[in-house]
């Protein structure tokens, strides 16, 4: 039996995933968490075979939580879930240590397949995402600028888009405000924006936020 920890800040979505997986005889959601703090606490005290982790959560985003899971339990497979398309975050997730990436609009059969694959020690990317990630790793990268940020830059960008201050981001990520400021400067330069307001506008135009 594959025991799954489901981490998502939307109760309705967690309930939906639970129902989808009830038909799978070898997979069960044995626990849930609504944020990174709860998830890490459970990982430290319970055994799981796979973590299903949403990227876009309140507080610490999924990419940041992924880094903490990798530190706490290096061998625990993490399958990222996201409302964003694969070309937007699949490579960033894999580079951050995720075992796979599944879009939230995927069919139940695909989710179950992905869970089984990463639980067995493999990596899962959809048929659409796999060639995109391969091309990106080989330097054939035609993605827009925000999809070419580093994992840490992605984490900070997501926090900025949630309205967090540099101080709050530093405290959340356990880094200095000066380091956060340096990352912010790099993000602005790479995206061609000059302020947080322009960053938000860029994110809206790219469909990253609504």
Domain boundary assignment for the chain: 2-137, 145-205
Neighbours of 22 (CB within 10 A): 12
Structure confidence at residue 114 (pLDDT): 96
CATH superfamily for domain 2-137: Response regulator (3.40.50.2300)
How much is the pTM? 0.74
Structure confidence at residue 136 (pLDDT): 67
Side-chain half-sphere exposure of 26, counting CA atoms within 13 A: 10
Neighbours of 15 (CB within 10 A): 13
Dump pLDDT digits (tens) for 17-50: 999 899 899 999 999 999 999 999 999 999 999 9
Q: What is the DSSP string of 68-134?
A: HHHHH-TTS-EEEEESS-HHHHHHHHHHTT-SEEEETTS-HHHHHHHHHHHHTT--B--TTHHHHHH
CATH, domain range 145-205:
1.10.10.10
Q: What's the DSSP call for residue 8?
A: -
Structure confidence at residue 209 (pLDDT): 75
- Which regions of the chain are under pLDDT 50? none
Q: H or E stretch including 160? A: helix 151-161
Quick one: tokens of 169?
């981001």
């Amino acid at each position: 039996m594959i025991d799954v920890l489901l981490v998502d800040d939307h109760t309705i979505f967690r309930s939906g995933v639970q129902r989808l997986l009830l038909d799978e005889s070898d997979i069960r959601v044995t626990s849930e968490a609504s944020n990174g703090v709860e998830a890490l606490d459970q990982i430290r005290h319970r055994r799981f075979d796979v973590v299903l982790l949403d990227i876009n959560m309140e507080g610490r985003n999924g990419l940041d939580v992924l880094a903490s899971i990798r530190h706490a339990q290096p061998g625990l497979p993490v399958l990222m879930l996201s409302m964003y398309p694969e070309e937007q975050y699949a490579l960033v997730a894999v580079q951050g240590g995720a075992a796979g990436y599944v879009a939230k609009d995927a069919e139940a059969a695909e989710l179950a397949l992905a869970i089984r694959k990463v639980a067995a020690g493999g990596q899962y990317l959809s048929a659409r995402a796999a060639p995109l990630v391969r091309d990106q790793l080989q330097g054939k990268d035609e993605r827009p600028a925000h999809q070419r940020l580093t994992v840490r830059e992605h984490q900070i960008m997501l926090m900025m888009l949630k309205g967090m201050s540099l101080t709050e981001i530093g405290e959340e990520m356990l880094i200095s405000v000066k380091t956060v400021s340096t990352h912010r400067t790099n993000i602005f330069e790479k995206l061609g924006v000059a302020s947080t307001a322009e960053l938000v506008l860029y994110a809206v135009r790219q469909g990253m936020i609504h």
